[in-house]
Amino acid sequence: MDVVLKIKRPRTPPFSINNAIDVILRREMDFYRNKINGEHPYLKATKDNLNLKPFLHPDINNWREGYVGIVYHDENSDITLHGVVDELLENGNNEVVVVDYKATARNKPVKELESSGWTDSYRRQLDVYVWLFKQNGFKTSDVAYFWYCTGNRNQMHFSHKLEFFEHFIPYKTNTDWIKEELIKVRETVEDNLPPYNLKCDYCMYNKKQENI
């Protein structure tokens, strides 16, 4: 609908607080990126001693900038992918490590990702980011991370601030599915409108409208 017919989905309200947390975390990471040893105290204090530090590269701001990002053209499908990452680190093996910031507010801190529609889409997101950097020739770790910030809904007083619990959640990416899916995307774009997908909320909403 978007690519072929130029019919876009209605925009949702912006996640202003989440976006603000992303901006602050990037600014904080850049502060340590520009220091001599480049070590971030939170990363240094992680229980697994991951030996991670901010990745230095002249294109770091482009890769984190909307409508720019890291780009790769897949010749088999004739599709160009853009990926806008939240953060890039470097591990002890000199590999690029992709990090995605997530923010929420719950009764308990998010320490691991459950299996659900939303979180599965988060995993695919990191799959694509890692794949893009590999296709661009970067030595990239298969293990990416979610930097999860959970707002404390149980604090007694607001007092102009909200406490967040931070957890660094590893994810072993899987990029094997991407090239095949790109071919399917190309076939879908060049074919007639695809049938409704029972797993797609937008499809089911449109289908129910037709029955009114």
Tell me: the pLDDT tens digits for 156-191?
A: 999 999 999 999 999 999 999 999 999 999 998 888
Q: Residue 170 is part of which domain span?
A: 16-191
Give the three-class secondary structure for 185.
Answer: helix
**Residue 197 maps to a domain:** no
> Is residue 73 packed enough to be buried (19+ CB in 10 Å), middle (13-18) or exposed (0-12)?
exposed
**Residue 62 maps to a domain:** yes
Average the pLDDT over 80-94 and give the result: 95
- Characterize the bridge pairing of strands 87-90 and 53-54: antiparallel
Asked whether residue 89 carries a pLDDT value surpassing 60, the answer given is yes
The string of pLDDT tens digits covering residues 100-111 is 999 999 889 999
**Residue 203 maps to a domain:** no
Counting the structural domains of the chain, the total is: 1
DSSP string, 24-48: HHHHHHHHHHTSSS---HHHHHSTT
**Residue 135 maps to a domain:** yes
**Residue 107 maps to a domain:** yes
**Residue 167 maps to a domain:** yes
CB 129 within 8 A of CB 85: yes
Q: Give the pTM.
A: 0.88
The pLDDT score that the predictor gives to residue 78 is 96
**Residue 89 maps to a domain:** yes
The pLDDT score that the predictor gives to residue 200 is 83
**Residue 147 maps to a domain:** yes
The string of pLDDT tens digits covering residues 22-74 is 999 999 999 999 887 777 887 776 656 678 999 999 999 999 998 889 999 99
Amino acid code (one letter) for 109: P
